[in-house]
Amino acid sequence: MPQEKPAEPSREETSGVQGSGYDFSRCKLCAAYASHPKYQLEKTTVYACAACGFHFIDHLDCLPCESPGDATKTLDRRAREYIEGRLPASEKQLRKNLLLVKRHIALSGAHCLDIGAGAGLFAHLLAEAGAVVQGIEPQGVFREFARQRFDLALNGETIDARHWQQGFAGFFDVVTLWDVFEHVNLPAETLQDAYNVMKPGGWLFLDTPRRDALFYRISEWSYRLSGGANSRLLGSLYSPLPFRHKQIFTLRQLRTLVERIGFSVTSVHSSFFQPHNRMVLVCRKP
């Protein structure tokens, strides 16, 4: 007799403030109840799915994160200096990302949504290029920075919110998810939600670390060869802290997911040996 499985959790149960009640035996990618602890790290446990091979940690962020008195709301001098200090490095990458977007669509007048907008720099670059830009950033400290630095009003509501799903269904020409996909609670749902707010013919651009790349392999070897004693390298790839890395895809898993949702993949930019093991997907909604 087949083992009885728990009822499928609703979107509210898996994505809301009850997120910590998620049953991690349920794979966040394929939804099979086939995931088991694989790597016990110092601060978190990496689960692996026996059905699809997906790796994810046993932690979800509490969203919305802004309870009264939440420290993330405060953009004090230290926080501002920290964010400012990191801007030049990210600007270099984001300007490359902008060129990639421009190779696919003329931005003048295009409706763009940057999901996980952070300090607002990419949204700012899009606006400079003539796009009509909106951005989502759940952390208040970044929204405040974007307001002061770039005069941008980023939205704190995540893409699953009614504001986006009902108010902007089939609306955007471009959606970008730069360095975001590994951070979200439920990547498959996030991607479906992104699909919903895009126009037919709209473009999706995303980048995320790649698991089937050299650094991850070395980290796994190091863990296995030490019998789990050396979890430092793997531990540098995941974190249970808010808004940190919760899952890392292989290229095949990511490609399968975007196609399952209905996107067609236009191009993939990646390398096994790339220093940051980053992969970039350019996709189109038919």
Backbone dihedral angles phi then psi of residue 16, each to the nearest 5 degrees = -90, -160
Least distance CB 38 / Zn ion (angstroms): 12
CB 204 within 8 Å of CB 285:
yes
In the bound state with Zn ion, the residue whose beta carbon lies nearer, of 134 and 253, is 253
DSSP-derived secondary structure letter, 213: S
Q: Which two tokens stand for residue 279?
A: 């992969």
**Binding characters for Zn ion, 263-282, by CB under 5 A (x = yes):** --------------------
Nearer to Zn ion, 35 or 97 (CB): 35
Kindly determine how many residues on this chain lie close enough to bind Zn ion according to the rule CB under 5 A. Answer: 7
Binding segment toward Zn ion, per CB under 5 A, in 24-32, 73-81, 173-181, 202-210: 24-32
Q: Tokens standing for 210?
A: 């790649």
Given the complex with Zn ion, which of 139 and 250 has the nearer CB atom?
250
Contact status: 141 vs Zn ion (CB under 5 A): no
Shortest separation between residue 5's beta carbon and Zn ion, angstroms:
14
* Helix or strand run (H / E) with residue 36: strand 35-40
**Backbone torsions φ then ψ of 123, nearest 5 degrees:** -60, -40
The one among 30, 146, 261, 281 contacting Zn ion by CB under 5 A: 30
SS3 181: coil
Interface of this chain with Zn ion, residues 50 to 69, rule: CB under 5 A: 51-52, 54
When the beta carbons of 54 and 249 are compared against Zn ion, the nearer one is 54
Q: Exposed e or buried b for every residue in 220-258, given b needs 16+ CB within 10 A?
A: beebeeeeeeebebbbebbbbeebbbbbbbbbebbbebb
Positions in 196-215 near Zn ion (CB under 5 A): none
Residues that bind Zn ion (CB under 5 A): 27, 29-30, 49, 51-52, 54
